[in-house]
Structure 1
Amino acid sequence: MKIGIIAASGIAGGHILREAVMRNHDVTAIVMNKAALKLDVDTIETDLFYLTPEQIQPFDVLINAFSPPLGEAHLHVEAGKHLISLLENSEKKLFVVGSSGCLFIDRNKSIRLLEHDEYPKHLVETAKHQLQNLHDLQNSSIQWSFLSPSVMFDSDGPRTGHYILGKERVLVNSQFNSYISYADFAVAVIDEIENNHFVNKSFTVASENVNSTS
């Protein structure tokens, strides 16, 4: 499968890149600076806002792991709109790395995590704009999936390959922790791309069989 990964030199994008390469997918990194890449793969060196239909034409799936600088969370929405416009009238899929703040915390799905008093204040704006990104996907005509991490998103956690999936609510594992390592998140991303269980849906993931703390 031909996969383009936007922000493949970032934390989330880097883990997804390694997972895709390990599974022998045909991967292209889409980055601002290819010198920042830790793997030798095909590269498109550009700002995502300058991506063209011609550049993404070879891909079956485009993964958006873009993370704007602090204070510029609104770029999530602008990036999302640009990517939706690029993929309109095509069979290509857009896979988006979402935000835990988009998840509901109650059974009635009336309160999202970003609205909870204990949700980190510095993440609220990102979550709000990621939620708008999700709404834009839901109102689009393209094929997409939107994966939100658990509350604790651990960049140093192990790749266990063991995880559980949920839909729109905060998910906890058997240890009652809402936890996912970046490595297991990447496993879930590539699994979904290979299996297409959540087409035009948002979902979430938590690591299982790992010693995590809440």
Structure 2
Amino acid sequence: MKIAVVCANGKAGKRIVKEAVGRGLDVTAVVREENHSAAPKVIQKDLFDLTSHDLTGFDVVIDAFGAWTEETLPLHSTSLGHLCDVLSGTDTRLLVVGGAGSLYVNPEHTVQVADGPDFPDIFKPLAAAMAKALEELRKRRDVKWTYISPAGDFQAEGERTGQYILGGEELTLNDRGESVISYADYAIAMVDEAVDGGHIQQRISVVQK
């Protein structure tokens, strides 16, 4: 299986590359500058300069793009839109590192995590930008996409337990009532989806077991 990880130098990207390489998959890092991930192959190119030719032959493209500053938040939509355009009409699957703020907290799917009174104001612009990108992604019927939301507490330095619970559109809690997952365990879930998953044009979520 051939996998390309876009923005492989980021925290999530590096973890996903490491997990995929560790399983013996054929992994290519897509990076703007020098490759700092474990991927043995590299496409050194800005995400917005990627063409269909660049991504031809990959079974899965994993989008690990992230933007955090106010002026760059709209790039969540434009970057994802560009990748969709590049992969439109192909059999290459697009897996997206998503956010937790857009997960629903009621069965009617009318209230999201980011709507809650305890959701930090500082993260609301980011959650809104990522939710907008997801809503735009849902309209793409020409791309084999899967959007994977982490748990509410997404821990960059958390341990790799090797176990996770697969959820859907709603915020899922583990047996301890927690919504938490490490980047390492999230990477396991992402690569599992790449290898075995069939959640085409769906949003799924993961939480540490």
Match of 1:66 in 2: 65
Match of 1:126 in 2: 126
Q: Is the 8 A contact 2:21 2:38 kept in 1?
A: no
Q: Is the 8 A contact 2:114 2:127 kept in 1?
A: yes
Match of 2:41 in 1: 42
Match of 2:56 in 1: 57
Alpha-carbon distance, 1:12 to partner: 0.6
Q: TM-score if structure 1 supplies the norm length?
A: 0.93
Gaps (5+ residues) in structure 2?
Answer: none
User: How do 1:4-153 residues align onto structure 2 when only pairs under 5 Å count?
Assistant: 4-35=4-35, 37-39=36-38, 41-71=40-70, 72-140=72-140, 141-153=142-154
Question: Which has the larger displacement, 118-127 or 48-57?
Answer: 118-127
Q: Is the 8 A contact 1:148 1:204 kept in 2?
A: yes
Relative to structure 1, the CA distance from residue 56 to residue 151 in structure 2 (aligned partners, 3 Å threshold; closer, same or farther) is same
Alpha-carbon distance, 1:107 to partner: 2.1
Q: Is the 8 A contact 1:74 1:126 kept in 2?
A: no
Q: TM-score if structure 2 supplies the norm length?
A: 0.95
Aligned mates of 2:113, 2:155 — CA distance in 1: 18
Aligned mates of 2:18, 2:41 — CA distance in 1: 13
Question: Which has the larger displacement, 146-155 or 126-135?
Answer: 126-135
Alpha-carbon distance, 1:73 to partner: 1.0
> What secondary structure does 1:94 align onto?
strand
User: How do 1:151-190 residues align onto structure 2 when only pairs under 5 Å count?
Assistant: 151-190=152-191
The alignment yields a C-alpha RMSD, in angstroms, of 1.2
What stretches of structure 1 move > 6 A for 4+ residues in a row? none
Aligned mates of 1:123, 1:13 — CA distance in 2: 21
Alpha-carbon distance, 1:86 to partner: 0.3
Relative to structure 1, the CA distance from residue 179 to residue 15 in structure 2 (aligned partners, 3 Å threshold; closer, same or farther) is same
Q: Is the 8 A contact 2:97 2:148 kept in 1?
A: yes
Gaps (5+ residues) in structure 1?
Answer: 209-214
Aligned mates of 1:23, 1:111 — CA distance in 2: 38
Alpha-carbon distance, 1:114 to partner: 1.4
Alpha-carbon distance, 1:132 to partner: 1.9
Aligned mates of 2:87, 2:77 — CA distance in 1: 16
AA matched with 1:86: V
Alpha-carbon distance, 1:28 to partner: 0.4
Identity %: 33
AA matched with 2:57: P
Deviations 1:116-167 (A, max 9, x none): 1211222222222222222222211110100001010011111111110110
